[in-house]
Structure 1
Amino acid sequence: MARTPRTAAARAGAWSLSELPGPREAAAEERRLRRAVAALGRSRRLLRPSITAAQVAGIVSRIEAIHDSLGRIHAHAALSHAADTRSEEASARLAAAERLAAQVSNGMLFFEQWWKVGLDARNARRILGGLGRLEGHFAHMRLMARHTLPEEQERIINIMEVTGTSALVRLYDRLTSAYEYRVGRRSMGREELSALVRSPRATVRRAAYRALLSRFAANRGTLADIYSSVASEWESVEVGLRSHASPISVRNMANNVDDRTVSALLRACEGGAPVFRRFFAAKARMLGLGKMRRYDLYAPVPGGRARNSYAEATGRVLGAMSSFSPEMASMARRVIESCHVDSEVRKGKRDGAFCSTVTPGLDPYVLMSFTGTVEDTFTLAHELGHAVHSVAASSQSILAQGAPLPLAETASTFSEALLHDSLMEGAPPARRRAMLSSRLDSLYATIMRQSFFTLFEQRAHKMVASGATAGEISAEYARGLRAQFGTSVEVSADFADEWVAIPHFYHAPFYCYAYSFGCLMALALSARRAEEGPAFAPTYMGILAAGGSEKPEDLMGRHGFDIGRASFWRGGMDYVARQARELERLR
């Protein structure tokens, strides 16, 4: 039975994809799409140095319409597959949608190639001035010229990606989503298992991690082969053919952030490891442990465990947003009430959580598996933060609506900060201590864990290029864990294979630093919120409304944040240190 706006907020359920073209409608939509691509191809004759800005704007308008149509077709297939990765029909439709996307991309490639490398700099500057809100987007495209290959080579790469790395990543999803884990007499999926790593009982936490790690370790060879293929493709195509300086530079260019900005971020995070080690030592004392073991990392401090119904969780998230900005809460409520949130626990459903933006004309879609934990409430806040960002930027072109990953993760973690501050208000001391410990758990998972993931990826890509085995990569991952925790946490040998259980390494190499970036950026925004109060809300919503129309350094620089300096990122780590000291005082 379809959910109504009232039940969508009251209980966990599946999303509605009725606003997207299903299998029947998609066939007609695809025919219209192919006609539009063919018509666009006839614009090739206009691409001369003397072309006017108005003529370019007309071509861009056609490209926007094509992206809109393709986005709707692909979204129905992709979201259906995420909802049930075991479905053969959904898998086949997603593969077909990705083939269509490659064909459409090739049909539009002539304009992209002309703009990047076929047009001289003087005329490009002349045309940029007439592109209005898309000036930043097309300026960024010009920067990618030196990494652009001849058109025929780009066509081949587009086609091969569908049957190469994309197919392998779908295989990874299908294999791992089917895994079931046994803890005691119970068999469960990964989302339910993840809740157990926060159990107050050490035996349950240890059993949960052993179930997870042993399942992935048993298939390490196959999963490592898939990873090696993904990493090799980045090395051979992006570094070898496109001449990017390094694999991570590919992600930085896509994120429209400078290499030096990301290097400054990672240095600050790596240098901040002692802050979290101090927290782990303090937490061990609170838990009555001599030393934290890796499976104790997310153990709850007594006084703060509570379960929420889905209605309570949505109410708390929307309430926290509303106290800062009623406009923000209204946008999030709209996404929930449009039945665009898939929150129920189901077998075969893709692990993890995400927010998917389709087109400016549609509210985004959110996937998570709500089990009732406090952490799930924060996950809901995180994903709805993404959704608010998408809605706020819906006045942008489809080509510039989506913010670069680091800024996207800023919006999500800022929403988590709002929820945390709201829950802390008026809480008794024991509750405050437990919540502050949980907050530091989250800051560790978002800042330190994700940045060390990225540092590992940098080493792992080099190792794959030099022919390293899965065992050697696991040994390197274990060395990274020891560097991260020092002597503050005891790490058992089975965690060496944890890397094959991290989906982001497969789906989006080097994505993870965006979480560290976003969290530290959100801490800076929260500090500004504390200084300015409600007056800061319009500024924040204005940052979100920019979407991907500006380079992050430029957008944040206009608001007084110099994100290219390591001192900026260290400021966020100083906040973490203050929170850790506050926790020790509450002990």
Structure 2
Amino acid sequence: MGSKYSLTWDLDVFFPGGSQSPEFQRYLERLEEDVEAFTKKMNQLDKQASNDFDRWYTITETVQDLSSRLGQASAFIVCLVSQDVKDEKAKILRGRLSQLGAAFQASMNNLDRLIKEMDQDSWNRLLRDPRLQPLAFPLDERRRRAAEKLPSEQESLAGDLSVDGYHAWSDLYNAIVGRMTVPFKEGEEIKELSVGQAANKLSSPKREVRQAVFHRMNEAWERESELLASCLNHLGGFRLNLYRHRGWDSVLKEPLDINRMSEQTLTTMWEVISRNKRNFLRFFERKASLLGVSKLSWYDVYAPLAYSDATVGYDEAADFIMEHFKDFDPRMAAFARKAFTEKWIEAEDRPGKRPGGFCTNFPESSQSRIFMTFAGSASNVATLAHELGHAYHQHVMNDLPQMVQRYAMNVAETASTFAESIVADASIKNAATREQKISLLEDKVQRAVAFFMDIHARFLFETRFYEERRKGLVSVDRLKELIVQAEKEAFCDGLDEYHPYFWASKLHFYITGVPFYNFPYTFGYLFSTGIYGLAKQQGPAFAQKYVDLLRDTGRMTVEDLAHKHLGVDLTKPQFWQGAVDLVKADLDQFLELTKED
């Protein structure tokens, strides 16, 4: 009997023929022509034009139209290269779109120059224009950010130099890791594993396998450590120099600004977590006992507890998700049904797909597409709910102007984690056996450990690395000391063995697009947990508040968002403590269920 819901997505509804699509070819050609025309137009604009409000309205309409079309093309190409990693034509299209995006960005730099040069009185009048007032937040944000940077010619020069400077160090890191191999003995044979293949063995149920692969991987990182330290040092040096020329004192300025949050909110969140995290040492002790070891080491933290290997069918998972979305809001369930029945989801378990999962949006079509590989595990069901949460977030914003649909990374995880929480709680409640319930609870507590401890270690390390990098290059030995100190502090000295080469192994430290690619995850997780707690308290009445909050995520700071829709102050500890208490309740339930009889 066939599946009720398709396991493969429909991309032909956008452009028939995949990477060979003549229709997509024409779409890209028209887009290239229009971007070129817009670039010429922006180059010809002078300072006087900035007081012509009709022209401003036309410019913002063009910007939103081009952004939307670039988003449509990007989403289509991302789907193509993900569903078939050997689609060479799709990779060529990706390169072509990358150039197009760079050209559009150059024209936006010209727009920023005009925005910055406008006098305050004219600017205030512009934002009061009824046609532009809905865009006041993103336009004002662009003006402030432009004012805080170097003159546009210098920013353009820095951008050009960064291709073979800043970004090149990130590319070099990827090249080094891509060619690395980890020799690992399996039976009588020694296999040369890629870093990804070796990392997968860290989730083996056998401790001797985890321990062996952990040490083999560290030996591999050690062999490349001098080069990887150079990458990290020069990335950090470029960033610090650029910040210095812009007159920025704090390395947190850019990531906080990108995430539209204050340093006070970030500090308060980490303080609340730090005050509560010792509770999770009880989880470490219990897990060590269940694994038959005296104390967990780094490679045991995410080890599976062999409690439940029950699998679920795709149709069953889909119906379960819709049923429990409906308990919260029938509109959310109706949206999920649309995604399942109209083939928005690529879930087939087959070779040739890229790993992982994501949700991408097609702005021109007001549709999303979800990518994952469904093999029937509880984790797969959670991922499916998570990605549907992302898609629902976009769905409730589709009728808003394109410029106010851009929400930051920290709130991007709100709707996804919220949807996942609905399904995780329902799964625990409906678990057929005690073992199943333990397995599901352990998964929830494990996520808290990742956000409260693992990511905190990354944040502490990165903060301290930049402090030392200001004074000069940081040696391999010192990087190892800094990361182990951060791990010991973040994990409350709760582990037996730490990871001295984590600074080398974590791609996030080498990403140039978003600095400090760590704390937004913890914020998103805990912010969403707090919102979920309010939803449980207030019941069906909260559903509309939730939609209203999601709709504002692209046009407010997180502090204003929380104050307006939740009536809470994120710079104070109360909201964060309430969210942590919900997680502690899961921990208590896990400890109760795993007590020795």
TM range (shorter): 0.7 to 0.9
* 1:570-585 matched pairs, under 5 angstroms: 570-585=577-592
Question: Cα distance, 1:289 vs. partner?
Answer: 2.9
Read off the aligned partner of 2:408 and give its amino acid letter.
Answer: P
Give me the whole-angstrom Cα distance separating, in 1, the residues matched to 2:152 and 2:441: 54
SS at match of 1:496: coil
Correspondence for 1:483: 489
Give me the whole-angstrom Cα distance separating, in 2, the residues matched to 1:90 and 1:332: 29
CA distance 1:369–1:460, change in 2 (3 Å):
farther
Give me the whole-angstrom Cα distance separating, in 2, the residues matched to 1:331 and 1:464: 49
* 1:228-307 matched pairs, under 5 angstroms: 228-237=233-242, 239-307=243-311
Correspondence for 1:519: 525
Alignment check: 8 A CA contact 2:457 2:489 kept? no
Alignment check: 8 A CA contact 1:394 1:545 kept? no
Correspondence for 2:36: 34
Read off the aligned partner of 1:454 and give its amino acid letter.
Answer: F
Give me the whole-angstrom Cα distance separating, in 1, the residues matched to 2:143 and 2:518: 26
Find out whether 1:528 has 2:530 as its counterpart.
Answer: no
Correspondence for 2:61: 61
* 1:48-127 matched pairs, under 5 angstroms: 48=50, 50-52=51-53, 54-78=54-78, 80=80, 93-115=93-115, 117-127=116-126
Correspondence for 1:467: 473
Give me the whole-angstrom Cα distance separating, in 2, the residues matched to 1:176 and 1:83: 23
Give me the whole-angstrom Cα distance separating, in 2, the residues matched to 1:318 and 1:215: 45
Correspondence for 1:3: none
Alignment check: 8 A CA contact 1:99 1:162 kept? no
Correspondence for 2:152: 151
Give me the whole-angstrom Cα distance separating, in 1, the residues matched to 2:175 and 2:237: 21
Question: Cα distance, 1:399 vs. partner?
Answer: 1.9
Question: Structure 1 residue aligned with 2:556, among 542, 547, 550?
Answer: 550
Give me the whole-angstrom Cα distance separating, in 1, the residues matched to 2:10 and 2:216: 30
Question: Cα distance, 1:450 vs. partner?
Answer: 1.9
RMSD: 3.3
Alignment check: 8 A CA contact 1:354 1:368 kept? yes
SS at match of 2:359: strand
Correspondence for 2:186: 184
Find out whether 1:205 has 2:210 as its counterpart.
Answer: yes
CA distance 1:65–1:178, change in 2 (3 Å):
farther
Give me the whole-angstrom Cα distance separating, in 2, the residues matched to 1:362 and 1:520: 29
Give me the whole-angstrom Cα distance separating, in 2, the residues matched to 1:140 and 1:528: 30
Give me the whole-angstrom Cα distance separating, in 2, the residues matched to 1:197 and 1:314: 30
Deviations 1:107-130 (A, max 9, x none): 232222222x21222222222223
Correspondence for 1:445: 450
Give me the whole-angstrom Cα distance separating, in 1, the residues matched to 2:57 and 2:259: 24
SS at match of 1:356: strand
CA distance 1:43–1:18, change in 2 (3 Å):
farther
Question: Cα distance, 1:67 vs. partner?
Answer: 1.6
Give me the whole-angstrom Cα distance separating, in 2, the residues matched to 1:15 and 1:460: 46
Q: Which runs of 5+ in 1 are unaligned?
A: 1-5
Correspondence for 1:454: 459
Give me the whole-angstrom Cα distance separating, in 1, the residues matched to 2:489 and 2:440: 27
SS at match of 1:253: helix
SS at match of 2:247: coil
Read off the aligned partner of 1:119 and give its amino acid letter.
Answer: M
CA distance 1:253–1:405, change in 2 (3 Å):
same
Correspondence for 2:367: 363
Give me the whole-angstrom Cα distance separating, in 1, the residues matched to 2:293 and 2:208: 14
Correspondence for 2:572: 565
CA distance 1:240–1:94, change in 2 (3 Å):
farther
Read off the aligned partner of 1:583 and give its amino acid letter.
Answer: F
Question: Cα distance, 1:183 vs. partner?
Answer: 6.9
* Structure 1 stretch displaced more, 175-184 or 403-412: 175-184
SS at match of 2:561: helix
Give me the whole-angstrom Cα distance separating, in 1, the residues matched to 2:181 and 2:351: 9
Give me the whole-angstrom Cα distance separating, in 2, the residues matched to 1:14 and 1:203: 40
Read off the aligned partner of 2:14 and give its amino acid letter.
Answer: E
* Structure 1 stretch displaced more, 438-447 or 98-107: 98-107
- What TM-score do the two structures reach when normalised by structure 1? 0.86
SS at match of 2:136: helix
SS at match of 2:405: coil
Find out whether 1:391 has 2:395 as its counterpart.
Answer: yes
SS at match of 2:586: helix
SS at match of 1:489: coil
Question: Cα distance, 1:151 vs. partner?
Answer: 1.7
* 1:408-447 matched pairs, under 5 angstroms: 408-427=412-431, 428-447=433-452
Correspondence for 2:544: 538
SS at match of 1:364: strand
Question: Cα distance, 1:298 vs. partner?
Answer: 2.1
Question: Cα distance, 1:234 vs. partner?
Answer: 2.1
Read off the aligned partner of 1:415 and give its amino acid letter.
Answer: A
Read off the aligned partner of 2:56 and give its amino acid letter.
Answer: V
CA distance 1:95–1:474, change in 2 (3 Å):
farther
SS at match of 1:246: coil
Give me the whole-angstrom Cα distance separating, in 1, the residues matched to 2:164 and 2:459: 27
- What TM-score do the two structures reach when normalised by structure 2? 0.85
Total equivalences in the alignment: 575
Give me the whole-angstrom Cα distance separating, in 2, the residues matched to 1:332 and 1:230: 42
SS at match of 1:490: coil
Find out whether 1:141 has 2:147 as its counterpart.
Answer: no
CA distance 1:532–1:568, change in 2 (3 Å):
closer
Read off the aligned partner of 2:69 and give its amino acid letter.
Answer: S
Give me the whole-angstrom Cα distance separating, in 2, the residues matched to 1:305 and 1:330: 31
Read off the aligned partner of 2:550 and give its amino acid letter.
Answer: L
Give me the whole-angstrom Cα distance separating, in 1, the residues matched to 2:506 and 2:375: 21
Alignment check: 8 A CA contact 1:378 1:416 kept? yes
Question: Cα distance, 1:216 vs. partner?
Answer: 4.4
Question: Cα distance, 1:521 vs. partner?
Answer: 1.0
SS at match of 2:570: coil
Give me the whole-angstrom Cα distance separating, in 1, the residues matched to 2:350 and 2:466: 34
Deviations 1:498-557 (A, max 9, x none): 233323222332122111111111121111111111221121122122241222111111
Give me the whole-angstrom Cα distance separating, in 2, the residues matched to 1:471 and 1:81: 39
Give me the whole-angstrom Cα distance separating, in 2, the residues matched to 1:17 and 1:469: 52
Give me the whole-angstrom Cα distance separating, in 1, the residues matched to 2:373 and 2:185: 19
Question: Structure 2 residue aligned with 1:401, among 405, 419, 442?
Answer: 405
Question: Cα distance, 1:346 vs. partner?
Answer: 7.4
Question: Cα distance, 1:401 vs. partner?
Answer: 0.9
Deviations 1:131-163 (A, max 9, x none): 232122122223324422212112223333444
Give me the whole-angstrom Cα distance separating, in 2, the residues matched to 1:392 and 1:212: 44
Give me the whole-angstrom Cα distance separating, in 2, the residues matched to 1:397 and 1:38: 25
Give me the whole-angstrom Cα distance separating, in 1, the residues matched to 2:380 and 2:393: 20
CA distance 1:243–1:383, change in 2 (3 Å):
farther
Give me the whole-angstrom Cα distance separating, in 2, the residues matched to 1:350 and 1:83: 7
SS at match of 1:292: coil
Deviations 1:239-273 (A, max 9, x none): 12222332221011111111221222223233333
Give me the whole-angstrom Cα distance separating, in 2, the residues matched to 1:91 and 1:266: 41
Give me the whole-angstrom Cα distance separating, in 2, the residues matched to 1:339 and 1:168: 40
Q: Which runs of 5+ in 2 are unaligned?
A: none
